[in-house]
Structure 1
Amino acid sequence: MLGEHTYALRATWTGDRGGGTTGYRDYDRSVSLEIEGKPPVLGSADVPFRGDAERWNPEDMLLAALAQCHLLSYLHACVGAGVVVTGYHDDAIGTMTLDGRGGGAFREVVLRPVVTVAHASMVAAAEAAHRQANEWCFIANSVNFPVRHEATVQVAD
């Protein structure tokens, strides 16, 4: 499946308190992210940057995109390898370093998927499928920091 795919999104700042951006503390960091045909995602800045803890921030969404992309790529790799996955969860963690000049960057993301497979004979192939998933993941291939995997494979009861 070759070709180019285009994605469209509207990001709308909804945090004007009536005075616009007259000062750093004078506006909310509230954002609505909308894609046609999908429910909106309510976003904000991270709490240390005067954001709303109840809304998704860009750092959350980057981590979520990496974890979900790996999960979906992994399931596809498992089908091709004859591995029957019956459960999957990932407690992913990302580390961002601030540069002291108002910017910063992610240093790394560690995905920690715990995968349950149907039979013990599938464990080795299930472990190998993580390498294939990492090669296929569009998001991991688009970032400039390492995305590591500390995977656990277990067998269903």
Structure 2
Amino acid sequence: MTDHNYALSITWTGNTGEGTKTLRSYSRNHEVTGEGLATIAGSSDPSFRGDPTRWNPEQLYLASIAQCHMLWYLALAAKEGVTVLNYEDRATGHMIEEDNGAGQFESVTLHPEVTISSDSDALLAEELHTRVGDYCFIARSIQTPIYHRATIERAS
């Protein structure tokens, strides 16, 4: 077994002069930084008084799931002899909010559109999406059900 450790910094930049005196007295803006990485401008979802021009945690959660799925899918395809030429995903997530403000994602659906070489096995290419969950660190670490609605096309 190999251990991997990750570190990042979150800096709240939303003190508008009153701090958190009330729920409306401050901005939800913040920055996510990591050594040698570009800064991510973050906020909360606009539904929760956030800045719609900044990434929010819910979007980043969805992005991490979709990224991990894609990267493992590409690795499995390479190992199984499926040549992927193009991969695009339009991931969606459904979150519920309870009356007290707590909530959780009820589901995430990935919609990968994959183009494979003309000599690759389309059935195997589709089946590989179901194997990703056995490997993807993010999928293995969360409770949210992840569904796949893959489209596989052969290049002409």
Q: Same fold, TM exceeding 0.5?
A: yes
Unaligned runs of 5+ in 2: none
**Residue 85 of structure 1: aligned partner:** 84
**Residue 60 of structure 1: aligned partner:** 59
**Residue 103 of structure 1: aligned partner:** 102
Give the length in aligned residue pairs: 156
Q: Deviations over 1:84-141 (max 9, x none)?
A: 0000101110000111111100001000101000115420111121122221111011
Q: What is the Cα deviation at residue 4 of structure 1?
A: 1.3
Matched, 1:74 2:73: yes
Higher mean displacement: 108-117 or 129-138 = 129-138
Normalised by the length of structure 1, the TM-score is 0.96
Secondary structure (helix, strand or coil) at the match of 1:63 reads helix
**Residue 133 of structure 1: aligned partner:** 132
Looking at structure 2, the residues matched to 20 and 7 of structure 1 have their Cα atoms a distance apart, in angstroms, of 30
**Residue 21 of structure 1: aligned partner:** 20
Unaligned runs of 5+ in 1: none
**Are the counterparts in 1 of residues 92 and 110 from structure 2 also a CA contact under 8 Å?**
yes
Normalised by the length of structure 2, the TM-score is 0.97
Q: What is the Cα deviation at residue 148 of structure 1?
A: 0.8
Q: Amino acid of the residue matched to residue 7 of structure 2?
A: A
Higher mean displacement: 63-72 or 135-144 = 135-144
Looking at structure 2, the residues matched to 137 and 121 of structure 1 have their Cα atoms a distance apart, in angstroms, of 23
**Are the counterparts in 1 of residues 81 and 120 from structure 2 also a CA contact under 8 Å?**
no
Looking at structure 1, the residues matched to 97 and 6 of structure 2 have their Cα atoms a distance apart, in angstroms, of 29
Q: Amino acid of the residue matched to residue 28 of structure 2?
A: R
**Residue 94 of structure 1: aligned partner:** 93
Q: After TM superposition, where is structure 1 displaced by more than 3 Å over at least 4 residues in a row?
A: none
- 1:33-44 equivalences under 5 Å are 33-44=32-43
